[in-house]
Amino acid sequence: MTVGPPPSGRLPDGFAVRLDPAVQRRDDGATLLGGSPLRLMRLSARARALLADRLTVRDATTAELAARLLDAGLAVPAVVPRRPDDVTVVIPVRDRAPELARLLAALRAEPATAQVPVIVVDDGSVEPVVADGATVLRHASARGPAAARNTGLRAATTATVAFLDSDCVPRPGWLAALSPHLDDPRLALVAPRIVGLPAARPTWLTPYEHAVSALDMGDRPAAVRPLSAVSYVPSAALLARRAALGDGFDESMPVAEDVDLVWRLAAAGWRVRYEPAALVAHEHPAAPRAWLRRRAFYGTGAALLAGRHGSAVAPVVISPWSAAVWGLLLAGRRGVLPAAGVLAVASARLAHRLRRPGDRVPAGFAAGLVLRGTATAGTTLARSLTRHHWPLALIAAVVSRRARRVVLAAAVADAGLAWWPHRAEVGPLRFAAARRLEDLAYGAGLWAGALRARDARALLPAVPPRF
């Protein structure tokens, strides 16, 4: 599967970016620290003068600086919502007539999308789809959501295509918030935030799923690329530049075809963005059995991705320094002093790299970065023990008392840290139980997929990229 080549043109005049609120400014604004993975960028005196908290492109120089900030993950587009134009909505559907009717009604109820052309692709429904006011294309038999989206993509004639799954209901203003991102000529995809649609029949899982759905990428805008905080966006709702998608989704992939598309676009040089100001509600699964099956199904996609993208799908991304520290700490009391020594050496090496000519060695700053990275690695390892590698953790816990303590501590710490930001939405016991069940299901699917593909790369750690 191929995607289109990105254009060589720069960001247009008038395009504006603003620093991500999480970015730290040091040395009177000469050094920026932020992004995901974490990056440090030094600014020239001229660049520092151009950049306050917002930068508007006026010429080639400001265009280059804005692009560098975007690609480093240090800035986000400062967009103003506007009415969408030259867009077609593509809806893949199979046997969901009531949900499709609800979605079409939501599109027609919003003035900004009331006249937007809609293509509904019926992927082999038992009862042929009827959609008043929309073009309906039908597959004689089910070929999967990727094929259905591609059929709609090929039929569209507009410059942009908005994909919406039939179990979604967009909130007012969703497309207006996404459209300005396409002023960036290198932007291929932009995705909204997926939130939960109020459940008709809530279950004990509903509060958890609404708090931390696998489709919800959070409340912060971000660049989307492998091995970053937002490494993919779900295809439940996307706005795409039609020329960028080329052949579209890989129809041979029954799952994770959206991740694959994002990573192919990123590898080709396109930008992909996540815009949480745009909201699309999704009917999350509520029945526990269906929910667990869906999580296991998601897990099987990792092996497919590993076959196409290698270490980009690694469940653990950790530096050798952090791995050494945690390995020593887990060895017991005898490892504490050696671990401290590793931290000291890593801090000294980083301080040497960060030192600017004529300045003193930034020892404290470097030590803070190393400790921060080591703490992040610890949470990643705890997550791995309870999610990606729980079969190995279970075996270790059966044969070793120390391993049992480590696994229990990891499970409690992982659930507690993840629950705290959502403590007003769901109780701790319900959250912890649902998280452990979700991880067991995903991990089972992950291992089943790897065994089926005879490819262990989806289970192996990776070293973070260097910039």
Kindly tell me if the per-residue pLDDT of 231 is higher than 60: yes
Phi, psi of 78 (to 5 degrees): -95, 85
In this prediction, residue 129 carries a pLDDT of 92
Type of residue at 405: R
Q: How far apart are CA 362 and CA 18, in angstroms?
A: 27
Topology of domain 87-286, per CATH? Spore Coat Polysaccharide Biosynthesis Protein SpsA; Chain A (3.90.550)
Kindly tell me if the per-residue pLDDT of 214 is higher than 60: yes
Kindly tell me if the per-residue pLDDT of 460 is higher than 60: yes
Q: Which whole number is the average pLDDT over 347-352?
A: 88
Confirm if 316 and 302 have CB atoms less than 8 A apart.
no
In this prediction, residue 405 carries a pLDDT of 93
What residue ranges of the chain are covered by domains with CATH 3.90.550.10?
87-286
* Tens-digit pLDDT profile for residues 8-41: 889 999 999 999 999 988 888 888 989 888 888 8
Q: Which whole number is the average pLDDT over 54-60?
A: 94
End-to-end CA distance of the chain: 28
Greater pLDDT, 465 or 167? 167
Kindly tell me if the per-residue pLDDT of 349 is higher than 70: yes
Q: Which helix (H) or strand (E) holds 329?
A: helix 320-330
- Find, among 91, 166, 169, 93, the residue nearest to 126 by Cα: 93
The rounded mean pLDDT for the chain is 93
Q: Which whole number is the average pLDDT over 110-119?
A: 93
Confidence category of residue 466, pLDDT binned at 50, 70, 90: low
In this prediction, residue 388 carries a pLDDT of 97
Q: What is the pTM of this model?
A: 0.94
Kindly tell me if the per-residue pLDDT of 236 is higher than 90: yes
Confidence category of residue 167, pLDDT binned at 50, 70, 90: very high
In this prediction, residue 358 carries a pLDDT of 64
Q: Which whole number is the average pLDDT over 427-452?
A: 97
On the CB side of 384, CA atoms within 13 Å amount to: 17
What the block records as the tokens of 396 is: 């270790």
* Tens-digit pLDDT profile for residues 354-372: 877 667 668 888 899 899 9
